[in-house]
Every structure is written in structure tokens, then in C-alpha cells.
């Protein structure tokens, strides 16, 4: 229950169309137009990338596109700030490892 | 190269206000903002603002944002989104990145209203996923409808930390503790009291020593600090949390001003590197202005006034407004801005320890250390002979004990029971000569949720207390739950005898509970029993 279904002040959050996208090969659902990071958060994804040298996990920090902690590989392009990039149906998101995609064992 | 009379950088409260005033004077105005949506942080502010009528007090921030956008559109302001101003060069030429394209614009006047960025603090594990800024929490829950976490620890007791803690609970998160290295709560006491009565414990003179977890936050350790802010060994406490929220101040994003060559000063009281400005925000470069947080950290209400002042000054600079009209209009705005700069939390009071209110009453130390008023405070502030309504029946109890610039309660009461007077920072007084009808407008108009209606004669042995409630589920009439004290301590059962919603209350529900008469001055919040059982 990460999504707020009803808010005491804001009521119901306006959401776009429900769409599927891919995260490290897995199929996940989200709402079109919301930030990728929000859709991932709703799916329980905390780690967006691992740092190149120390291989430390990073996730959402500022959520307004300033800190670049939440960058991932989106449709093959690394360093995309997922907190300000809108989700599009069928997007392929990869956990970033340094600047490459994290190797995922299927 | 496109040319404008005025280019504003930043479509937040200051930038939009500046653009609106300038466009109304007949200027051709463009606003650039790097974000996909205008409004800056206003749309994340779901609480009612403080101040007076002219500051749009008691209106929620996001609604003020909607009004600004409508006014900007009506005034003919062109707002460019996803447009990052990357540079300012000689003769007010701007380099703007839009998508993959870099474009040049020329302005005759510029107003920089880029706002501020959040500060952070470092501790072991601070880079773990789950450690977030308070602004990030607001963005997630108030813009995108998603909880930042289930169990949250908040670091920082300034207004941001206090307001966001309350908003986290409104979003359905649990706030396990509020921590601040300072020995006293930094923000408004009324904001602290709102979360204390929900049962959130305050740990002042404490700091985070480590975030626990390997891939993401699973817990946090805090410790008491000594006078030099060093953790004291042996005082560590652990909390199971999945989120650590940092609300440790803001820094002006003044890089563009520096790049433009404005004289800069390092002023800790204004939040860091800020431009030298005159009273209208004009920098050392004629025709280049700064407004809002970028020229000194304050809040949205003063940012909007500063924006309007700089917009008018820019109009006068280019001759769109006569000097006399400029002076007349700026004089009014200066008075409005000045009134926000009064009281215990005024920019000039930063860092000072205040022992007494303007009325000469010793301030509540309990409020500053634990977030709520204690019995001795009630004697000084509430139970004074001149503050007690001797008549039987319903009457307001106002738990507003700090001099802050705010007075909607006075206007809300049509019966004249509540007096603030001309000095906007004065503590509201009860005028016992007038009778309360129990309409509840004062409760809903108090941005600090510090007004309660109490009736000690509700029924033999029972009192009724009407309190502001902004959580879900809304209690139902006849429901039985738990009355909570100011510190969130359960006092016993309380029955809901009335639940009122009205458009004029603006999403604040007025909940009336029936409690034993001896709890008339102790019960200040209501918890549904299902929640109580769940904790």
C-alpha cells in the first residue's frame, strides 16, 4: 500500500492511463506520465543504481531532478533522472551499475 | 534572437508574482523554468498559510499556486517550461536549454527567482536508498500520490520538518520521531503541537548517528549531542524505519547571479551566498533583480511580495510605470512585507533566545523542548482571569503562545470574541464580553490548528471539545475512540458527538468529542480505536 488512494486534503490523485513497462526484464505496471521513479517506488524498487567505484546502492534523494542519485538506464540511455522523466508505455528500465546496465540473472 | 522587456528565471511564487505585476504594467514578459510544471514548490504546500488577508492567509499553498497561474495567463505572461537557463551574459543575454536545443534570448530587464535547494547532513549510511530530503517526501506524497515510506524518522524541527511530518501522517505514514541537534524546536510552536498531539516524540539535542541497512534503510540510530553537537556515547537509541527524512535548511540557488557578475555577499542569516540588493531586489547590475529565496531564505508569502516589488521596479526601470506610481504601490507592499518580518521568528530574531512574549509572558519551554504546552504554560497563557470566559456554555480556547505574524482568527469570528488588534504578531485575546455561538470558523481559519471550542457544561459530568481534524478516515457521529492529550497520551474513551464539514472550512473537518469534564483542558486530539488497536 504505497500509493495513497485517498488524501484528506487533496482527495484522489489524478493519474494517467495504466501501462506496463520493463524493469531489468520484469514486467511492471505504472501510470503513463508519472515520473519513472514514482512507478518504481509503487512497485517496491528502492535501488536505482550502484556507484561505479564502491558499488554502493543509490535511490531517490531529492525527487526534483537536482541530485542525480536516481539515474538509471532508460531505453538504453544511461544517466536518465528517473524522478523527472515521465513514464511511457513499454519503456525498458535497467538498474545502472556504474554507467552500464546491472547484469541480471534470469 | 528573441527579445523581451523582462525575462524571469523561475516560475515559483516569487517569479510568477514578478511576471504578473510587470505584465500588468504592459511589459512583454517571459518566464523560464527548468521544471515540467510551473509553481515551484507551491503545489506541494497543502497546509493553510499564515499571515493576514493581504498575504492570503488561511489559504492552502496549492490553491495560491492555482491563482497565480491563472493571473499570469490573464496578464499575458509567456511561461516556458522544461527550459533551463544555463547562462547570463553581458547586456542581459540569456542562454536557455530547451530539450536538445540551446537558444539565446535578450532581455531589457531580468528577475532571478530561482529559489533554494535543500541542505543535507552526512552520517554513516546517509547515501542509502530511503534517506530522502523533506522536499522529496512532499513531492512524492503531495504531487504524485505515493507514500515516501511506511515508517519515517524526521531530522529537523524547523517549519519544513514540522509541516512535512504532519503531511506524512496525512498521507498515511507513521512518523516515529522528530529529531533535531538544536536544543529547541526551530519552527512555529503550533506546528510542533499538531504533531506532538498525534503522539510523535521529540528528540531535541539529538542527531542521527547512522542509517542502518545494506541495500536500503531498515533502521536508524540517534544519539544525544553535547553542547558542541558531538554525539554522547551511551545515549544511542534505535528505531525501525524504512525512511529517513532530512529537513535541515535551504540554501539560495544564486549561481546565475554570481555568473552575471552581481556583487555577492556571504550572509548566514539569509542562508549563504546571496546578491547585494536594494529594498526592491535590484542587484549591483542595474535592471537585474533577485526575488524570493534566492536573495535570502524566507517563505512563500514573503517571496510573493518580493516578487511583486521587483516586477514593479523592473517596470519603472524601463518606463512602463511612472516613478510616482511605483513609489505609491511599493509603499503598500513594503508594509505587507514588513508585517511578515515581525515577531519571534523574524529574520532579525534568528539565533536569538527569546524568554518572553511581546505581552511579557514567559514563553513555554515545554513547547520548545517537547512540542506541547505543559500545565504551568496553560496557567500563564490560557487560564488567566482576563482570558477566561466566565459565562457558561461553549467558548474558544486559543493555544497560540508565540508572537507570529498571523491574524485570520480575528476576522473569522463575526461575534468579536477574538481580538488580535493592529499588531499582527500579538497573541489573540478572548473578549469575554461577546458570546461564542460555536460556529467553528475560528478553528478552521487557524493555520496552526491551535483553536478549540470547549463546553464544560455540555452534560452533567461531561465536556465537549471541538477540534480541527485533517486525517482519514473522517470520524463518524456516534463513533467511540480515544481522547489524546497534548502529548498524544491516551486519556480514555471519547465519543464523537458531531462532525462538521463545510466549504468555508476548506477540507478541515470539525470533530466534536464528549469527554469527562476533568479532561476539558487536557484532551486535544482524537484517535479512532482501530488505529489505537493497531499500534
The tens-digit pLDDT sequence of chain B (535 residues) is: 899 999 999 999 999 999 999 999 999 999 999 999 999 999 999 999 999 988 999 999 999 999 999 999 999 999 999 999 999 999 999 999 998 999 999 999 999 999 999 999 999 999 999 999 999 999 999 999 999 999 999 999 999 999 999 999 999 999 999 999 999 999 999 999 999 999 999 999 999 999 999 999 999 999 999 999 999 999 999 999 999 999 999 999 999 999 999 999 999 999 999 999 999 999 999 999 999 999 999 999 999 999 999 999 999 999 999 999 999 999 999 999 999 999 999 887 877 889 999 999 999 999 999 999 999 999 999 987 666 666 678 999 999 999 999 999 999 999 999 999 999 999 999 988 888 999 999 999 999 999 999 999 999 999 999 999 999 999 999 999 999 999 999 999 999 999 999 999 999 999 999 999 999 999 999 999 875 444 4
CA B4 to chain centroid, in Å, comes to 34
Closest to B244 in 3D by CA, of B281, B216, B204: B216
Closest to B114 in 3D by CA, of B40, B61, B28: B40
Cell 552520517, residue located:
B123
Cell digits for B471? 486525517
Closest to B198 in 3D by CA, of B485, B430, B453, B404: B485
Q: Quote the minimal CA–CA distance from A62 to chain B in Å.
A: 5
Contact B134, B45 (CB under 8 A): no
Name residues whose C-beta falls within 8 Å of residue A81's C-beta, 6 or more positions apart in sequence: A65, A68, A70, A71
Q: What is the DSSP letter of B143?
A: I
Q: Please answer yes or no on whether A15 and B145 come within 8 Å at the CB atom.
A: yes
CA A9 to chain centroid, in Å, comes to 26
Choose among A34, A46, A86: nearest Cβ to B130. A46
Contact B338, B42 (CB under 8 A): no
Contact B488, B525 (CB under 8 A): yes
Q: Please answer yes or no on whether B139 and A66 come within 8 Å at the CB atom.
A: no
Contact A89, A20 (CB under 8 A): yes
* Closest A-chain CA to B151: A2
- Would you list the domain boundaries of chain A? 18-97
Interface of B with A (CB under 8 A): 34-36, 46, 60, 62, 117-118, 127-133, 135-136, 139-142, 144-147, 170-172, 215-216, 470-472, 474, 507
Contact B452, B466 (CB under 8 A): yes
SS (H, E, C) B48-88: ECCCCHHHCCCCEHHHHHHHHHHHHHHHCCEEECCEEEEEE
The full set of domains in chain B, from first to last, is 2-117+250-340 (3.50.50.60), 120-246 (3.50.50.60), 376-534 (no CATH)
Contact B72, B31 (CB under 8 A): yes
Contacts of B146 in chain A (CB under 8 A): 2-4, 38, 41-42
Q: Please answer yes or no on whether B129 and A66 come within 8 Å at the CB atom.
A: no
Name residues whose C-beta falls within 8 Å of residue B336's C-beta, 6 or more positions apart in sequence: B52, B54, B55, B305
Q: Please answer yes or no on whether A47 and B171 come within 8 Å at the CB atom.
A: no
Q: Identify the residue among A9, A16, A81, A95 best suited for mutation to test binding to B, counting B beta carbons within 10 A and taking the highest.
A: A9
Question: Residue B385: helix, strand or coil by DSSP?
Answer: helix
β B83-89/B219-224 pair status: unpaired
Cell digits for B469? 481534524
Give the torsion sign (CA, B416, B420, B411, B170): negative
* Closest B-chain CA to A42: B146
SS (H, E, C) B308-362: HHHHHHHHHHCCCCCHHHHHHHHHHHHHHHHHHCCCCCCHHHCCCCCCECCCCCE
Q: Supply φ then ψ for residue B87, to 5 degrees.
A: -165, 150
* Closest B-chain CA to A55: B215
Q: Compute how many other C-beta atoms are within 10 angstroms of the C-beta atom of residue B259.
A: 13
At B534, which helix (H) or strand (E)?
Answer: helix B529-534
Q: Please give the Cα distance from B491 to B285 (Å, whole number).
A: 62
Choose among A59, A64, A66: nearest Cβ to B216. A59
* Closest A-chain CA to B216: A46
Contacts of A10 in chain B (CB under 8 A): 46, 62, 142, 145
At B258, which helix (H) or strand (E)?
Answer: helix B255-260
Q: Quote the minimal CA–CA distance from B411 to chain A in Å.
A: 23
Q: Please answer yes or no on whether B131 and A9 come within 8 Å at the CB atom.
A: no
CA A29 to chain centroid, in Å, comes to 11
Q: Please give the Cα distance from B446 to B430 (Å, whole number).
A: 15
Cell 524541527, residue located:
B157
Q: Please answer yes or no on whether B472 and A60 come within 8 Å at the CB atom.
A: no
Q: Quote the minimal CA–CA distance from A25 to chain B in Å.
A: 20
Closest to B412 in 3D by CA, of B435, B440, B454, B386: B440
Cell digits for B48? 493553510
Contacts of B132 in chain A (CB under 8 A): 60-63
Contact B243, B152 (CB under 8 A): yes
Q: What CATH class is the domain A18-97?
A: alpha beta
Amino acid at each position: 500500500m504505497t500509493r495513497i488512494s485517498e488524501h484528506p486534503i487533496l482527495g484522489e490523485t489524478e493519474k494517467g492511463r495504466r501501462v506496463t513497462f520493463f524493469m531489468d526484464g520484469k514486467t511492471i505496471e505504472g501510470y503513463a506520465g508519472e515520473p519513472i521513479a514514482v512507478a518504481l517506488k509503487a512497485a517496491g524498487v528502492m535501488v536505482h543504481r550502484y556507484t561505479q567505484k564502491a558499488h554502493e546502492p543509490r535511490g531517490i534523494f531529492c525527487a526534483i531532478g537536482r541530485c542525480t542519485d536516481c539515474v538509471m538506464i532508460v531505453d538504453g540511455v544511461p544517466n536518465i533522472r528517473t524522478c523527472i522523466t515521465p513514464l511511457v508505455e513499454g519503456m525498458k528500465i535497467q538498474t545502472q551499475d556504474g554507467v552500464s546496465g546491472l547484469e541480471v540473472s534470469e | 534572437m528573441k527579445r523581451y522587456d523582462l525575462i524571469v528565471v523561475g516560475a515559483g511564487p516569487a517569479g510568477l508574482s514578478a511576471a504578473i505585476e510587470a505584465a500588468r504594467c504592459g511589459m512583454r514578459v517571459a518566464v523560464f523554468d527548468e521544471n515540467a510544471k510551473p509553481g515551484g514548490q507551491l503545489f506541494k504546500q497543502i497546509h493553510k498559510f499564515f499571515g493576514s488577508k493581504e498575504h492570503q492567509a488561511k489559504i492552502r499553498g496549492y490553491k495560491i499556486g492555482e491563482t497565480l497561474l491563472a493571473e499570469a495567463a490573464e496578464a499575458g505572461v509567456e511561461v516556458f517550461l522544461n527550459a533551463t537557463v544555463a547562462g547570463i551574459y553581458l547586456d542581459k543575454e540569456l542562454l536557455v536549454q530547451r530539450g536538445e536545443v540551446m537558444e539565446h534570448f535578450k532581455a531589457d530587464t531580468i528577475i532571478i527567482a530561482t529559489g533554494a535547494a535543500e541542505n543535507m547532513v552526512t552520517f554513516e549510511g546517509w547515501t542509502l536508498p530511503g534517506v530522502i530530503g523533506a522536499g522529496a517526501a512532499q513531492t512524492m506524497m503531495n504531487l504524485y500520490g505515493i507514500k515516501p515510506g511506511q515508517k519515517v524518522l524526521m531530522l529537523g524541527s524547523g517549519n519544513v520538518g514540522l509541516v512535512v511530518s504532519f503531511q506524512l501522517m496525512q498521507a498515511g505514514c507513521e512518523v516515529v520521531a522528530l529529531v533535531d541537534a538544536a536544543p529547541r524546536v526551530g519552527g512555529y510552536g503550533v506546528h510542533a503541537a499538531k504533531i506532538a498531539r498525534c503522539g510523535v516524540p521529540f528528540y531535541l539535542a539529538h542527531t542521527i548517528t547512522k542509517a542502518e541497512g545494506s541495500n536500503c534503510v531498515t533502521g536508524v540510530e540517534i544519539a544525544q549531542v553535547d553542547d558542541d553537537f558531538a554525539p554522547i556515547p551511551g545515549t544511542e537509541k534505535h528505531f525501525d524505519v524504512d525512511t529517513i527524512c532530512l529537513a535541515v535548511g535551504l540554501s539560495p540557488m544564486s549561481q546565475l547571479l554570481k555568473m552575471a557578475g552581481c556583487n555577492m555577499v556571504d550572509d548566514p542569516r539569509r542562508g549563504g551566498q546571496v546578491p547585494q540588493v536594494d529594498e526592491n531586489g535590484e542587484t549591483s547590475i542595474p535592471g537585474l533583480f533577485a526575488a524570493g529565496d534566492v536573495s535570502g531564505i524566507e517563505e512563500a508569502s514573503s517571496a510573493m511580495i518580493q516578487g511583486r516589488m521587483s516586477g514593479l521596479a523592473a517596470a519603472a526601470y524601463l518606463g512602463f510605470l511612472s516613478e510616482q506610481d511605483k513609489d505609491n504601490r511599493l509603499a503598500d507592499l513594503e508594509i505587507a512585507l514588513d508585517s511578515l518580518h515581525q515577531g519571534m521568528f523574524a529574520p532579525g530574531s534568528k539565533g536569538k533566545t527569546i524568554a518572553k512574549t511581546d505581552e511579557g509572558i514567559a514563553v513555554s519551554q515545554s513547547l520548545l523542548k517537547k512540542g506541547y504546552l505543559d500545565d504551568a504554560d496553560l496557567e500563564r497563557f490560557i487560564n488567566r482571569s482576563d482570558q477566561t470566559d466566565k459565562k457558561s456554555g461553549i467558548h474558544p480556547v486559543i493555544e497560540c503562545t508565540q508572537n507570529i505574524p498571523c491574524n485570520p482568527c480575528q476576522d473569522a469570528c463575526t461575534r468579536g470574541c477574538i481580538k488580535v488588534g493592529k499588531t499582527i504578531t500579538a497573541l489573540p485575546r478572548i473578549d469575554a464580553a461577546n458570546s461564542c455561538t460555536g460556529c467553528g470558523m475560528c478553528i478552521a481559519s487557524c493555520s496552526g490548528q491551535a483553536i478549540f471550542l470547549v463546553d464544560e457544561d455540555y452534560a452533567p459530568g461531561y465536556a465537549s471539545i471541538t477540534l480541527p481534524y485533517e486525517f482519514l478516515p473522517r470520524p463518524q457521529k456516534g463513533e467511540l475512540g480515544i481522547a489524546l492529550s497534548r502529548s498524544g497520551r491516551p486519556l480514555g474513551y471519547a465519543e464523537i458527538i458531531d462532525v462538521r464539514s463545510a466549504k468555508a472550512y476548506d477540507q478541515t473537518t470539525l470533530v466534536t468529542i464528549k469527554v469527562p469534564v476533568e479532561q476539558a483542558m487536557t484532551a486535544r486530539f482524537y484517535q479512532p480505536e482501530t488505529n489505537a488497536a493497531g499500534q
